[in-house]
Structure 1
Amino acid sequence: MSVLRAVRKLAVPSSRILAKHSPLISARARILTPFSAAMTAPRASFSASAHRFGEGTADGALSAKISEELTYEKEEEIVEEPESLKELKNAGIWAIEDVPGNDEITLKRKFGNEHIRLIFSIADLQSGDESLGNLEGEDSASEDATASYPLRCSLTITKPSVSGSLSIDAVCQEGQFVVENVSFYSDSKLATDLTAEADWKRRGLYVGPQFETLDLGLQEEFEKFLQERGINESLALFVPEYAQHKEQKEYVDWLSNVKTFIDA
């Protein structure tokens, strides 16, 4: 179980959300409209003449609606890699791990004898859609929303020769990383393992004080520590841009997979 699983949120400022995903009527909600209407309509009694599974009377309408959505989304889809991703790869500092179908992206790098890992996610977009409800039709507001909507990140720093690990919870927002707390785990596997067992063991452990309650001088030194390791403004600008790119690809793939299943 990921350390981000319970808290991640992301607003995706695409025309799909701003033009179609209002809090009341979203593109994805429209896909479910026929089903919702069917739930409120009088129910027919079961009979021997009922259609077999996979041959329901609503299948065709649902498939057609998904096709309509796919056509629109593929026009909006970011086909090529974002420029920031090309720059990240060309710099050769961070390695990116992005598994199709997964909602988390991992960035890794080495710094001296340290292994650094940053994880962020594209999950739980519904709240993001609602927060953008008042921005419909405003392209400039869309761009601002990408940078301003908070995206939670989990950062771990380990040293192979040392037992223990730093675990840092931060929010990527408005082109910067805002640290929330810095934890130390005496067992480095406890900080880095993304399993249910590790998540259970982390519960109840002291995770350190809220970062904002630390002495200002100590906060500044921690921030310099992270900046030196590449947790900086350029990375904070890359994270939401790449998250938007991945979310669009995953949504189109989801539509395609659902349509294929419905049509089978």
Structure 2
Amino acid sequence: MRKEAFEGNILRLLRNEIQYELQSASTFKSATKFGSFVVDGRAGERWITLKKRHADEDIKLEGTMFDGAVPAPTPTKDGGVINSDEMQMHITVIVTISKGEGDGVLQITCSAWPDCVEIKRLFIRANENIIAEPYSGPQFTELDDELQESLYDYLEERGINDELAAFLHQYMKQKDKTEYVRWMERVKAFIERK
């Protein structure tokens, strides 16, 4: 009897939380496109994939759900910046650009902040599926300033920009809620199983 009461309490709490989340959820529908990118939300996973064709290139972006946070910068009256108590969420984005069979792929690891994309590293892989760690070059910030700016322009031309960062943050907020509800429903179904 005690086990049934305990499980009944868990089920009641799960039902209440699921109902609350569904009622408080916005009417935002999970996007299937962003600009010329096709979006795959990968239900039940922590990643999403965006793909598109640009001239003779296949471009694939893989983004995590929120995987970190830092204090948000707040401008001061004297033009400086301090860190506030609010947190700024982080998304890791891996950009893979290929130009056909056998040419290798360019991989660029980026941070997507709420209002910008920041390049962290870039390197060439012989094949997108090779697991071995290639030499990834220096930290991006160690490159010549003009080269850094040119690489940002390269991504901008391919639609990997501040608007994409804002889209990813909006999308991931919704995905986080959706995955949370899916997780609670799976826990509930497991406990209900006899």
Are residue 119 (structure 1) and residue 62 (structure 2) matched?
A: yes
2:94 aligned with 1:154: yes
- Name the CA shift for 1:189/1:67 in 2 (closer, same or farther; >3 Å): closer
Tell me what 2:39 maps to.
96
Kindly state the Cα deviation for residue 259 of structure 1 after the two structures are TM-superposed.
1.1
Bigger Cα Rg: 1
Please name the residue that 1:109 is paired with: 52
The whole-number CA distance in structure 1 between the counterparts of 2:66 and 2:180 is: 11
Q: TM-score, normalised by structure 2?
A: 0.82
Deviates more, 1:61-70 or 1:210-219: 61-70
Give the Cα–Cα distance (whole angstroms) in 2 for the partners of residues 229 and 237 of structure 1. Answer: 16
Q: How far apart, CA to CA, are the structure 2 residues paired with 1:258 and 1:211?
A: 43
Indicate which of 201, 223, 236 corresponds to 2:152. 223
Report the Cα distance in structure 1 between the residues aligned to 2:123 and 2:58, rounded to whole angstroms: 16
- Where relative contact order (Cα < 8 A, 6+ residues apart) is larger, the structure is 1
Supply the distance in 2 between the matched residues of 1:123 and 1:56 (Cα, whole angstroms): 37
User: Equivalent residue for 2:75?
Assistant: none
Report how far residue 71 of structure 1 moved: 2.0
Query: What does the per-residue CA deviation read over 1:179-231, in whole Å, with 9 as the maximum and x for residues that have no partner?
Result: 011111123432xxxxxxx2xx22xx311110001000110111111100100
Aligned partners of 2:101, 2:95: CA distance in 1, in Å? 19
Number of aligned positions between the proteins: 181
CA deviation after TM superposition for structure 1 residue 131, in Å = 7.3
CA distance in 1, matches of 2:65, 2:8: 31
Q: How does 1:113-262 map to 2 (within 5 A)?
A: 113-122=56-65, 145=87, 148-190=88-130, 198=131, 201-202=132-133, 205-262=134-191
Structure (1 or 2) with the greater helix fraction: 1
Determine the C-alpha separation between the residues in 2 that align with 1:241 and 1:258.
26
Is the CA contact (8 Å cut-off) linking 2:42 and 2:49 kept in structure 1?
A: no
Cα deviation 1:166-190 (Å, max 9, x = unaligned): 1111100131110011111123432
Unaligned 5+ runs, structure 2: 73-83
In structure 2, C-alpha distance between the alignment counterparts of 1:80 and 1:226, rounded to whole Å: 28
C-alpha displacement of 1:79: 3.9
Kept in 2, the 8 Å contact 1:78–1:248? The answer is no
- Residue 9 of structure 2 aligns to a residue whose secondary structure is helix
The Cα shift of 1:163 comes to 1.8
**Residues 233 and 248 of structure 1, relative CA distance in 2, 3 Å threshold:** same
1:209/1:63 CA distance change after superposition, 3 Å: same
Match of residue 81 from structure 1: 29
Query: Hey, which bits of structure 1, 4+ residues long, moved more than 6 A?
Result: none
Q: Contact 1:167–1:182 (CA<8 Å) still a contact in 2?
A: yes
Partner of 1:117, secondary structure, is: strand
Alignment RMSD:
2.6
Could you state the TM-score of these two structures normalised by the residue count of structure 1?
0.62
Partner amino acid, structure 1, of 2:124: F
Instruction: Tell whether the 8 Å contact from 1:154 to 1:167 is kept in structure 2 after alignment.
Output: yes
- The answer to which structure has the higher strand fraction is 2
In structure 1, what is the Cα distance between the partners aligned to 2:106 and 2:64?
Answer: 20
